[in-house]
Amino acid sequence: MGIRGELFSTKVSLQNRTYFFNVKENRLGDLYLNVVESKNRDTGGFERQSVVLFAEDLQEFLRGFDEALKVLEKAAREKRRNVSRPGPGHKDRPRTSDTEAAVREGGKRVLVKKKSATPPGDSPQAPPKRRSVRAIRPQE
Q: Are 36 and 23 in contact (CB under 8 A)?
A: no
Q: Within 10 Å of residue 98's Cβ, how many Cβ atoms? A: 6
Strands 31-40 and 17-25: antiparallel
pTM of the model: 0.54
Look at residue 21 in the predicted model and tell me its pLDDT.
97
Alpha helices in 4-128 (DSSP H): 58-84
Task: Tell me how far the alpha carbon of residue 99 is from its chain's centroid.
Answer: 26
| Domains of the chain: residue spans and CATH | 3-83 (3.10.450.700)
**Whole-angstrom distance between the N-terminal and C-terminal Cα of the chain?**
15
Cα(44)–Cα(31) distance, integer angstroms = 33
Instruction: Tell me the mean pLDDT in the region 38-53.
Output: 92
Nearest to 33 by CA among 58, 14, 12: 58
pLDDT in tens, 90-102: 555 555 444 444 4
Nearest alpha-carbon partner for 26 in 67, 66, 54: 54
pLDDT digits (tens, 9 = 90+) for 1-17: 556 689 999 999 999 89
Distance CA(84)–CA(77), nearest Å, equals 11
Q: What is the pLDDT of residue 85?
A: 67
